[in-house]
Amino acid sequence: MASSKKAISKVTPRLEVKKTYKLYINGAFPRSESGRVYEVSNTKGGFIANPTLASRKDLRDAVVAARAAQSGWAKATAYNRGQILYRIAEMLEGRADQFASEISLASGVTLRKAQDEVATAIDRWVWYAGWSDKLSAAFGATNPVAGPYYNFTIPEPQGVIAVAPAENFLAFIDSIAPAIVSGNTVIALVPGSAAVAAMTFAEVLATSDLPAGVINILTGLHDELAPWAASHMDIDGFDISGIDKKKRTDLKVAGAENLKRFHHFDGAISPTRIYAFMEAKTVWHPIGV
C-alpha cells in the first residue's frame, strides 16, 4: 500500500515546450529565408528567446502580401473594419496576463507597469477602432464651388504603410491601429525585445477575423530593414517614430523617388495619426444629373 501511494505521488520530469519565434507574413508564420535569429535576454543576462532576424527578401514578401490584401481591406465597410478591430481588442483582453508577463520578462519593467502598458494598449486599440465609421464625417467635406456642380472631398487610405515603432508594446500598437483602421495594410518592423510580445500579438491576429496580409510583422534590426522599406517603390508611407532622429533624413531621401509619405509621432493618441496616411479624393458631379 505504501509503495502504491509513493508511485502515485511521483512527478514525471518533463522538458518545457519552448516557443519557436518566426515571422508573420500573409496570415502565416514563415521562417526567414536567411535562417538568422538573434537573442533576447533579461536584465540579468538570462536567455528568453531567439526571435527571427528578418531579411530584405522577407520584407519584399511582406510587401507583396500587403499589396495583395490592400484593395479588399479598403473596400470592406467601415463598420466591418471596426468590428474586426474590436474583436482583436477582445482577444488582447483575454490574453492580457500573458502579454504583461512577456513584456515584464523581456523589457525588465515591473509586472505592474507591464500590466498598465497592456491595459493602455488595449484601450488605444479600441479608441482607434471607434474611428472606423467616423472618418468620412471627420475628414470629408462638401465644398462650395461656382457653377452647377457638387464638389465632394472623400478621404481614402493611402495603400501600403511601413511602421518602425520604438522598442515597446504600446508603441507597436500605436503604430499599427491608426494605419489599418482607414483601410491601409501594414508591414511592422519590430526591433529588439519588443519581438517577444509582437509575435504573441501575431497569434492573436492569426485567430481573429483580420484578412491575411493586412498586418505583417517582421522582427529584427531597424538599421537593416528601414532603408529597404524607405526605398521600396511599392510602399506608400512610412511611420518612422521609432527611428533614431539622426537617421530619419537619410530615410526620407531614400523614399523621395516614389514620393513616399514619412511621419513621426510623439505617442499621443490622436485622429491626426489616422489621417496622416490617408489621401483626399475630390469628386465633381453636375447638379440635376
Domain boundaries defined on the chain:
40-286
CA–CA distance from 264 to each of 153, 163, 252, 280 (Å)?
Answer: 25, 10, 12, 20
CA–CA distance from 9 to each of 1, 4, 14 (Å)?
Answer: 13, 9, 15
Res 159: pLDDT: 97
273: confidence class by pLDDT, cuts 50, 70, 90? very high
CATH architecture of 40-286: 3-Layer(aba) Sandwich (3.40)
DSSP state of 21: P
| Of 13 and 203, more confident | 203
154: confidence class by pLDDT, cuts 50, 70, 90? confident
The Cα–Cα gap between 192 and 168 comes to: 9
97, three cell numbers: 496576463
5: confidence class by pLDDT, cuts 50, 70, 90? low
Mean pLDDT score of the chain, rounded to an integer?
92
Alpha helices of 54-165 — where are they, by DSSP H?
Answer: 56-75, 78-94, 96-107, 111-129, 135-139
Neighbours of 200 (CB within 10 A): 19
55: confidence class by pLDDT, cuts 50, 70, 90? very high
Res 8: pLDDT: 52
Given a cut of 60, is residue 268 above it in pLDDT? yes
| Of 206 and 148, more confident | 206
Instruction: Look up the pTM and report it.
Output: 0.91
Res 6: pLDDT: 54
Res 74: pLDDT: 97
| Of 125 and 152, more confident | 125
